[in-house]
């Protein structure tokens, strides 16, 4: 069987409402591309009818491959599982919710060919249909990653991108469990090129990333790429300790000079509470990193596959299918 030029990886977690419409647009795009392609749906332990829907898509379109994970592992791992199973010369990663327009794949491929880029990422012009709070936190996060995380993650870029074979191979060498894919994509280097596009609001179903997941992802991103928060804790501790020392000197001086008419309860309370807070923060940061060490040293497999069904024939195009049927 010919191996495809292009693999499209679609992580899907409870996306049965949107998958059929998604695949219709994707298939039309691949028809226009006219190259052997596979579409790898990674079912990330959905508990709706996602698996049945992708099964139906595979029966109707020989380019469709299905990777069924044993449970929900989260998007980053689902993506990784997809990357491990993709066979194409170039691999496109795209969300199932139609926020990333599948039509843009043509441009991604064009750019990969013409400019010999290793990573072509799609950069949003604006975040349509997203709340102000989500936009601000996203912005804040990118800023933090850039200045504290020392990895320049391109702003307003999702996971939607094209990867060359060698960058997919490079990503295989990262065994870490705490994977922050957006960071890793940048981390591996090679030739990276941006393409601008308008992002649509989610078509159907709800965002699977609630606030808790979003905050987790941000902490994940920062702590997987830098130990700077640890330094921050030490520096803050040092500053506060020095301030406390100066204040002690001052108090001793004041007592000697003017005597001590008690009082001072409020300042005492403030100092104690403040220091308590700072200590808890510092311990929390330590714990965050310790937790990472704990998880990574277990060396557990990243995911388990319940079922993998490769594409029946990546070379088939829609037009030919119609001739045959």
List interacting residues with ligand UDP (CB under 6 A).
11-13, 15, 44, 72, 74-75, 78, 95-97, 99, 207-209
Closer by beta carbon to Mg ion, 14 or else 99:
99
- Do 82 and 40 touch, CB atoms closer than 8 A? yes
CA atoms within 13 Å, Cβ hemisphere of 89: 13
- Do 90 and 112 touch, CB atoms closer than 8 A? yes
Contacted by 75, from Mg ion, ligand UDP, none: CB < 5 to 8 Å by type? ligand UDP
Contacted by 44, from Mg ion, ligand UDP, none: CB < 5 to 8 Å by type? ligand UDP
What whole-number distance in Å separates Cα of residue 71 and Cα of residue 69?
6
What whole-number distance in Å separates Cα of residue 123 and Cα of residue 108?
11
Closer by beta carbon to ligand UDP, 75 or else 317:
75
Contacted by 13, from ligand UDP, Mg ion, none: CB < 5 to 8 Å by type? ligand UDP
Binding of residue 167 to Mg ion (CB under 5 A): no
Residue from the set 7, 99, 186, 224 that interacts with Mg ion by CB under 5 A: 99
Q: Which two tokens stand for residue 234?
A: 């030490």
Question: What is the residue-wise DSSP string for 89-143?
Answer: SEEEE--TTSSS-GGGHHHHHHHHHHH--SEEEEEEEEETT--HHHHHHHHHHHH
Closer by beta carbon to ligand UDP, 73 or else 225:
73
Smallest gap from Cβ 14 to ligand UDP, in A, equals: 7
Smallest gap from Cβ 160 to Mg ion, in A, equals: 10
What whole-number distance in Å separates Cα of residue 43 and Cα of residue 54?
8
| Window of 98-106, 126-134, 140-148, 291-299 that interacts with Mg ion by CB under 5 A | 98-106
Contacted by 68, from Mg ion, ligand UDP, none: CB < 5 to 8 Å by type? none
Q: Which two tokens stand for residue 246?
A: 């100066």
Smallest gap from Cβ 200 to Mg ion, in A, equals: 10
Smallest gap from Cβ 141 to Mg ion, in A, equals: 16
Smallest gap from Cβ 59 to ligand UDP, in A, equals: 21
DSSP label at 242? H
Which three-class secondary structure state does DSSP give residue 40? strand
Residue with tokens 């990118």: 142
Strand 6-12, strand 90-93: pairing: parallel
Closer by beta carbon to ligand UDP, 118 or else 197:
197
Residues in contact with Mg ion, counted by CB under 5 A, come to a total of 2
What whole-number distance in Å separates Cα of residue 56 and Cα of residue 230?
50
* Residues composing the chain: 325
CA atoms within 13 Å, Cβ hemisphere of 164: 19
Smallest gap from Cβ 152 to ligand UDP, in A, equals: 20
Binding of residue 100 to Mg ion (CB under 5 A): no
Smallest gap from Cβ 207 to ligand UDP, in A, equals: 3
Smallest gap from Cβ 227 to ligand UDP, in A, equals: 27
What whole-number distance in Å separates Cα of residue 96 and Cα of residue 44?
12
Closer by beta carbon to ligand UDP, 78 or else 233:
78
Closer by beta carbon to Mg ion, 97 or else 220:
97
Contacted by 209, from ligand UDP, Mg ion, none: CB < 5 to 8 Å by type? ligand UDP
Residue with tokens 């979003």: 214
CA distances from 294 to 81, 234, 288, 304 (A): 22, 22, 10, 21
Q: Which two tokens stand for residue 66?
A: 């299905």
Closer by beta carbon to Mg ion, 5 or else 78:
78
Q: Which two tokens stand for residue 179?
A: 């994977």
Binding site for Mg ion (CB under 5 A): 97, 99
């Amino acid at each position: 069987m010919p191996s495809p030029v292009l693999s499209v990886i679609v992580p899907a977690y409870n996306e049965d409402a949107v998958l059929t419409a998604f695949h219709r647009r994707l298939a039309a795009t691949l028809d226009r591309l006219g190259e052997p392609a596979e579409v790898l749906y990674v079912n990330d332990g959905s508990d709706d009818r996602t698996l049945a829907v992708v099964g139906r898509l595979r029966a109707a379109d020989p380019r469709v491959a299905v990777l069924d994970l044993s449970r929900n592992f989260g998007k980053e791992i689902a993506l990784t599982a997809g990357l491990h199973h993709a066979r194409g010369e170039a691999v496109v990663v795209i969300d199932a919710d139609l926020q990333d327009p599948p039509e843009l794949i043509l441009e991604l491929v064009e750019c990969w060919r013409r400019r010999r880029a290793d990573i072509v990422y799609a950069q949003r012009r604006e975040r349509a249909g997203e709340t102000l709070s989500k936009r601000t936190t996203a912005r804040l996060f990118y800023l933090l990653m850039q200045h504290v995380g020392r990895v320049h993650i391109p702003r307003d870029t999702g996971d939607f991108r094209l990867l060359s074979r060698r960058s997919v191979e490079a990503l295989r060498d990262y065994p870490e469990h705490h994977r922050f894919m957006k960071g890793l994509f940048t981390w591996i280097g090679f030739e990276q090129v941006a393409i601008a596009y308008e992002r649509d609001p989610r078509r159907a179903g709800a965002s699977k990333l609630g606030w808790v997941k979003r905050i987790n992802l941000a902490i994940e991103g920062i702590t997987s790429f830098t130990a700077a928060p640890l330094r921050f804790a030490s520096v803050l501790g040092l500053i506060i300790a020095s301030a406390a020392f100066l204040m002690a000197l001052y108090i001793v001086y004041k007592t000697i000079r003017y005597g001590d008419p008690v009082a001072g309860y409020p300042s005492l309370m403030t100092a104690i509470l403040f220091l308590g807070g700072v200590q808890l923060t510092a311990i929390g940061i330590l714990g965050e990193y310790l937790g990472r060490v704990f998880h990574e040293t277990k060396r557990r497999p990243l995911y388990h596959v319940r079922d993998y069904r490769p594409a029946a024939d990546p070379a088939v195009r829609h037009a030919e299918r119609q001739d045959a049927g």
